[in-house]
Amino acid sequence: MRALFALGVLVLVSAPAVAAPPPNIVYIVADDLGFADVGFRGSEIWTPTLDQLAQTGATLEQFYVQPMCTPTRAALMTGRYPLRYGLQSFVILPDQTYGLPTDERLLPQVLKDAGYETAIVGKWHLGHADRKYWPRARGFDYQYGPLIGEIDYFDHKVHGIVDWYRNGKLLKEPGYVTDLIGADAVRLIRAHDTSRPLFLYLAFTAPHTPFQAPKAYLDRYKDIADPNRRAYAAMVTAMDDQIGAVLKALADKGMRDNTLVVFHSDNGGVRTATFAGQIDTKGDLPARNTPFRDGKGSLYEGGTRAVALANWPGHVPPGKVAGMMHVVDMLPTLAGLAGAPLAGTKPLDGMDVWPAISTGAASPRTEVVYNVELFRGAVREGDLKLVWNAPLPSRVELYDLGADPGETRDLAAERPAEAEAMRKRINGLAKDMARSQFFEATMKSIIGHHGAPVFPTDPGYYQQQD
């Protein structure tokens, strides 16, 4: 009997460990969401789903993105700063024909080669005028939503042209954009073959302008007098409801316990009329980035430090993750979790930050490059941040973010040696940066005379799928 027991123990000890399956990944990006405009940051805006994810997961306290939409999405897809490939400035406008260079190997391609089903539901904004830039040519098995963004939430048009597609086929369907994006993600999850891991890039257009929401959501905020703030709040709550529906679909499918959910905004909320689109800006703009300075389009913290969280039951402990992270870190981090090799990618700026998220280890990141472009640049090293506005009269500003996160006290005159060293770092990056595709395209089309969206016009385009 004792011998049989010993044999059983030996068998148990000798049995090979069963490798844990790679996680499903639901990567959610909001559009122009203010850092302080969620409940778990103290907002009056109702976001119970995001609050629950934050309470049971990790809030990423120093998560950095680019100051505008296209550059952030490019950084996520490539794991590389957009200055490397010419997407560092502004966004791709509707009449512009460039896109994310096709020699960049993207996150969905990396995950697809590791066995993932890959899908984008929502906004793309990395190239629309040539189908070589479209999502299904860049590693996504499935695509639904707008190729540009900034569309009307009810008729799905930009500059009078419908920008709404499924797998390359133009769609004309009714519905509020945020509801349609959420509902399509739910359908995708319900139909998913769970023998394969899922990578779902869920990219909402909310709460980007125009500020529009269904009456039922607007009615929840009757106590907000300003119409822009009321509509903005309604849009955020509508998005939160759809995220809740997606989480429920994951649970119903039995996928939630093995799904990593990441959420963040693509940049700070809009605080300058220049980036507010065609809306009434007589009053205060609605987004709040408290306690940070400025907002979208700016290199100050309000434009680049995004509200962010990560949640995976049993794998991400609740709490705050204090270390610096940048959206470029997501490609190597997610590839590591997926067991996906990085062969074929260009030299990455991103680092694997999973130990910091999952165990509270120190972040490997000690520097953040906010951006480097023709007319400005900013870099952070430790707690010191340098902002260099190059156009004459040029201005160099130095801040200690540890003591002054609101960037209210310029230390450049007090600490000239450190300011000069960081200015040289920016200049060194500038010497190697790629030419800005935005400025080249804008000069060709003559500034200020942009036209309607440019989409492929090959025969049968509107009738066939990719």
69 is catalytic: yes
252 phi and psi angles, rounded to 5 deg: -60, -30
Rg of the chain in Å (alpha carbons): 23
Please, is 143 exposed, middle or buried when counting C-beta atoms within 10 Å of its C-beta (0-12, 13-18, 19+)?
buried
Residue with tokens 């996504």: 140
Domains of the chain: 24-365 (3.40.720.10), 369-445 (3.30.1120.10)
Mean pLDDT, residues 243-271 taken together: 98
**Is the pLDDT reported for residue 277 higher than 80?**
no
Q: CA dihedral in degrees (54, 269, 144, 183; nearest 10)?
A: 50
**Is the pLDDT reported for residue 450 higher than 90?**
no
Please state, in angstroms and rounded to a whole number, the distance separating the CA atoms of residues 367 and 374.
Answer: 21
| Residue 201, helix vs strand vs coil | strand
At a CB cut-off of 8 Å and minimum separation 6, what does 428 contact?
none
Nearest to 243 by CA among 282, 209, 192, 202: 202
Q: Per the omega criterion (within 30 degrees of 0), is the bond before 71 cis?
A: no
**Is the pLDDT reported for residue 15 higher than 70?**
no
Q: For the chain, how long is the longest CA-to-CA vector?
A: 89
pLDDT of residue 1: 42
pLDDT of residue 3: 44
Please state, in angstroms and rounded to a whole number, the distance separating the CA atoms of residues 397 and 389.
Answer: 9
pLDDT of residue 449: 61
**Is the pLDDT reported for residue 280 higher than 60?**
no
At a CB cut-off of 8 Å and minimum separation 6, what does 297 contact?
67, 68, 267, 272, 274, 275, 303
Please state, in angstroms and rounded to a whole number, the distance separating the CA atoms of residues 188 and 196.
Answer: 13
156 is catalytic: no
19 pLDDT band (50/70/90 cuts)?
confident
Residue 211's DSSP bridge partners are: none
Tokens of 263: 């959420």
pLDDT of residue 303: 98
The pLDDT tens digits for 31-70 are 999 999 999 999 999 999 999 999 999 999 999 999 999 9
Mean pLDDT, residues 237-249 taken together: 99
Residue 259 parent element (H or E): strand 259-265
pLDDT of residue 436: 97
**Is the pLDDT reported for residue 394 higher than 90?**
yes
The pLDDT tens digits for 281-328 are 555 789 999 999 999 999 999 999 999 999 999 999 999 999 999 999
Which is catalytic among the residues 125, 156, 208, 326? 125
**Is the pLDDT reported for residue 210 higher than 80?**
yes
| Residue 387, helix vs strand vs coil | strand
**Is the pLDDT reported for residue 462 higher than 80?**
no
Identify which has the larger pLDDT, 413 or 442.
Answer: 413
Chain mean pLDDT for the chain: 93
Q: Produce one character per residue of 281-318: b if its CB has 16 or more CB atoms within 10 Å, e if not.
A: eeeebbbbbeebbbbbbbbbbbbbbbbbbbbbeebbee
Helices (H), 168-226: 177-191, 215-218
The pLDDT tens digits for 89-132 are 999 999 999 999 999 999 999 999 999 999 999 999 999 999 99
At a CB cut-off of 8 Å and minimum separation 6, what does 46 contact?
39, 220, 233, 237, 240
pLDDT of residue 447: 55
Please state, in angstroms and rounded to a whole number, the distance separating the CA atoms of residues 32 and 224.
Answer: 20
Pairing of β 142-145 and β 117-122: parallel
**Is the pLDDT reported for residue 429 higher than 50?**
yes
**Is the pLDDT reported for residue 7 higher than 70?**
no
Mean pLDDT, residues 385-399 taken together: 96
351 pLDDT band (50/70/90 cuts)?
very high
Cα three-residue angle 462-465-466, rounded to 5 degrees = 120
